[in-house]
Amino acid sequence: MAVATDHHYRAYTPAPLTKSDIDEVEILFGGLHWRAERLLQAVFENLGYNARPLPVATKDDLLTGRELADIGQCCPTSFTTGNLANFLRSESERIGAEQVKDRYVYVTAGSCGACRFGQYHQSYELALKNIGMEQFRMFLIDQGQPDQGATAGGGLNINMPLTLGTVWALLAADVVQGLEYRTRPYEVNAGQTDEVVRQCVDELYEVFRNRPAKGEKWGSIVWHLSTNYFVKALREVFRKFEAIEVDRLQPKPVVKITGEFYLQTVEGDPNYNIHRWLEAEGAEVYPAPIAVWLDYLIRFQVQSLEDYVGVDKGARAKVAALKSVQKVFGWTYNRMRAAFGNIPHEMPDQYELRRLAAPYFHHKLSGGEGDMLVGKALWTHLNKKAHMICELSPYSCMPNTMSIGAMAGVIGQYPDLLYAPIEVKGDAEVHALSRCQMILTEAKKRAIQDYVAAMETTGLSPETAKELLAERPEMRRASYRVPHRGAAATAANLLYDLADMTAERNAA
Amino acid sequence: MAKWFARKPSAAPGPRPDLEARAKLRIGIPKLLNVWTTHQFWLGFFGALGVPNNRVVFSGDTSEEQAREFGRGRGTVDCCYPVKCGAGHYGELVFGQKRKIDILFSPMIYSLSSFLQGHVADSLACPRVMAGPENIKAGFLKERDVFAENGIRYVSPLVSLAEPAIVPKQLYEALKDVIPGLSYKETRAAVDEGYRTLKGFNTEMRARSREILEWCARENRPCVMVLARPYHMDAGIGHEIEVDLQAYGYPILWMQYFPIDDDLMQWIFGPDMAAGHIKSPFDIDDVWPSSYSANTNEILWGAKVAARVPWITCAIRLTSYECGMDQPTFTPVQQIIERSHTLFFSFQELDSTKPAGSVKIRVETISFYMQQSSERIIEQKQAVTPPGCPLLPQAESKLATAKAELAASA
């Protein structure tokens, strides 16, 4: 006689998504900024899937997430859980729960530790159960596996064309975002940058949507690495920025955004709209490119292999091979940056970040951004890339609280590093922003100090600088790159640049 | 190029061990976090290197007094108490020893050698737990180097206990300048000894748990399973809630030391394996697919055990304030337990202060329910468990019956 086991609890298992289902189904995804999501949508559509990003999470989503899943969540879990649940609820009201179950599937990134990011699906499952949608299908994509094959039922194939398309789309979205954030604070005609960026993303959407099919694996890899298809498209859209007139002689504090991946990436309620808020407060925002996170994932794999050097015979060769992949990745990003006149910020070298963080935070400590938060803060400060660091840390985020703790040691040694760790609960906006504002006040003073120092060094007054700029209309365009001349403030770097050009002209 | 052609650590001839100097060393280990289930590894390891066990000093149990006296002003962040209390432990070892320690050894345990390894995705430690030492250290370095001022070498290697092949390298690199005359070869042998000592201790603890279970089965008496992280064994973190419960006469089992003998595992999980839900008794994929965190995995596994063993009529869950690893498991653990009719009580948000009054009331409540319901729960669970329980006398013949029945049903 078989002993009954049916009464025992079992975890959620999604119903298969078959090839015959896929034409009728729309893939939902989210958790990034709008540019990246729009280009990802194009990548899905290019491969024959219907896809749609979820709307940007709101405070209502936060409350729903808290209500539906277990208590004590970090706020990204609450936001993303509530975001999915509210979308499904509203669609259920519109077309009925049965239709929603059949018409949509949700795809999200999964991981194998160390923080609870890899367990988010548990909250989604609980929320689905609590809104009576246990039959809804949700699939996890392992962010460490580029070629995972088909999900249950064979309807969705996580293969090389999808993965490479995703990576290329994220890199393209990064450079667009990078240029946008270096332009908008200085635009002469308010709203022009936003309009141009919207047009650029729409054009790039078509580019990714019409990406040629080059096979399932090696053909696709070779094509992505060798083609000019994306770079050419980026050069095209870059021309639109030439129309934007900028006034970069405004000494604005540069604020580097770091923190937990979701909070530093999204733009909306989940991080109190901090990017826009900082700009409104007079800052130039140095956003967090997704490329840096991808680069870190590769570095982490390299480190795991490095542990076996001297222990496992093949480890050294594997390290070399993976580092080559990492170099190719960096080269691809730089090609895209070059198409945008090298104006978007460069990716910091991962091994430099590791070296800087080493006295304070071990490079193998995983979860979240690991040692990168310490490394990026020091890299930014020592290389004068920004005046202050705004670290967005979700309430109760496990890895982030650890690096914030370790930052106490950093601040002890570098007391002039302006560091604003902001604990984000999602519903304590005034407290968080006022805390940020205190540090920003100091950052503003430093931006002015940079500018004054540049005036003293170059002998250029703002009036003279304006006259010189009037003679060089190309320097008043968003497409002109102001080289980094050792100051964090763009206005100061522009003065140095003008002085050099004037000196060269006089010498000639 | 020199790096490429460098000799492997294993090929290095190594210095001569200075046993005399080592015997005089005093090593302080903060008794916190995953040291609670790995202390025997460290005793075996340092013992094999010639540091006598009586010269390896562990800090005391966590207490508010310890934090006040030794850790005040050294906190760097607000996080869960098991990590936060580390400042008190460090401080006690630095300032509170009659005979000064020479080395403060605080391993960053990246992964654990769990008995579930090989059946789960990974055996990582919690991100806060693994990074705890970096965080606590910052509080002792932010103004000046307190360790150096007190003549103490601070050593905090990252140790991947789930990957024995690389542990000698990790420990050798960290200790070669601290333990006189240390060689890689010697470190490797000491690591082996550490694992042997840990295994021996765990085997002994599991045997004792089995004795308790056998007594419960023989007498048809209920017992309680504690589902918690290793550091909840610390009186200052778990607040000895299970001790209060034991005072009512209920034997206590910690899932970390639950017996894992093959006969018992086959009896408990045989039906699930036969039904195709799991591949082995240590497979938790049926309840927890994201099985990468060692302590979380063990809690989920322990819940499955508690749901299937008839004499475990109650499971209590201990979890600390702001524990992010426990948070997503609240519902699955409760569901696993309660669907089997087993009583489930959860003590959540545990922090520095013992809520003695409410613990007393809850323990009385648990005891009342156990008294009222245990007999019925045992009967209900026995009705859905296979015959041939190896915990009972004549187990061997019963096991044979069970195996035959399972084979027939498969």
**Ranges of each domain in chain B:** 9-199, 221-409
Closest CA to B62 of B242, B230, B244, B235: B235
CA atoms B51, B54, B57, B59: torsion sign = positive
Closest CA to B363 of B225, B226, B204, B243: B243
What mean pLDDT is predicted for residues B278-283?
A: 97
- Write the residue in A7, A72, A121 that is nearest to B339 by C-beta: A7
**Cβ contact, residue pair A409, B271, below 8 Å:** no
Lowest mean pLDDT among A13-27, A46-60, A110-124: A110-124
Residues of B in Cβ contact (< 8 Å) with A75: none
CB atoms within 10 A of CB B69: 14
Predicted confidence at residue A458, as pLDDT, reads 95
Residues of A in Cβ contact (< 8 Å) with B270: 3
In sequence order, the β-bridge partners of residue A157 are A150
Strand blocks (E) in A276-395: 284-286, 388-394
Tens digit of pLDDT for each residue in A375-428?
A: 999 999 999 999 999 999 998 888 888 888 889 889 989 999 999 999 999 888
- Write the residue in B125, B137, B271 that is nearest to A3 by C-beta: B271
For A:119-178, CB contacts with B below 8 A are 119-123, 126
CATH 3.40.50.11900 fits B221-409, yes or no: yes
Residues of A in Cβ contact (< 8 Å) with B307: 8-9
- Write the residue in A1, A115, A364 that is nearest to B158 by C-beta: A364
Cβ atoms of residues A172 and A202 within 8 Å: no
**Cβ contact, residue pair B322, A396, below 8 Å:** yes
Residues of B in Cβ contact (< 8 Å) with A362: 108, 131, 134, 158
**Cβ contact, residue pair B275, A367, below 8 Å:** no
What mean pLDDT is predicted for residues B251-261?
A: 97
**Cβ contact, residue pair A72, B165, below 8 Å:** no
Buried b (16+ CB within 10 A) or exposed e, B75-100: bbbebbbbbbbbbbbbbbbbeeeeee
What mean pLDDT is predicted for residues B108-126?
A: 95
Q: H or E stretch including B264? A: helix B262-274
Q: Position of tokens 């009342």? A: B368
Domains detected in chain A: 19-158 (3.40.50), 244-454 (no CATH)
> What chain A residue is nearest to B156 in terms of C-alpha separation?
A362
Predicted confidence at residue B399, as pLDDT, reads 55
Q: Is the pLDDT of residue B289 over 60?
A: yes
Predicted confidence at residue B214, as pLDDT, reads 97
Q: Is the pLDDT of residue A479 over 60?
A: yes
Predicted confidence at residue A149, as pLDDT, reads 74
For B:341-370, CB contacts with A below 8 A are none
In sequence order, the β-bridge partners of residue A477 are A245
Q: Is the pLDDT of residue A320 over 70?
A: yes
Band (pLDDT 50/70/90 cuts) for residue A157 is confident
Predicted confidence at residue B5, as pLDDT, reads 53
Three-class DSSP labels, A417-478: CEEEEEEECCCCHHHHHHHHHHHHHHHHHHHHHHHHHHHHHHCCCHHHHHHHHHHCHHHHEC
For B:181-240, CB contacts with A below 8 A are none
Q: Which amino acid is at B374?
A: S
**Cβ contact, residue pair B288, A396, below 8 Å:** no
Q: Does A397 touch chain B (CB under 8 A)?
A: yes
Band (pLDDT 50/70/90 cuts) for residue A367 is confident
Q: Is A416 exposed, middle or buried (0-12, 13-18, 19+ CB in 10 A)?
A: exposed
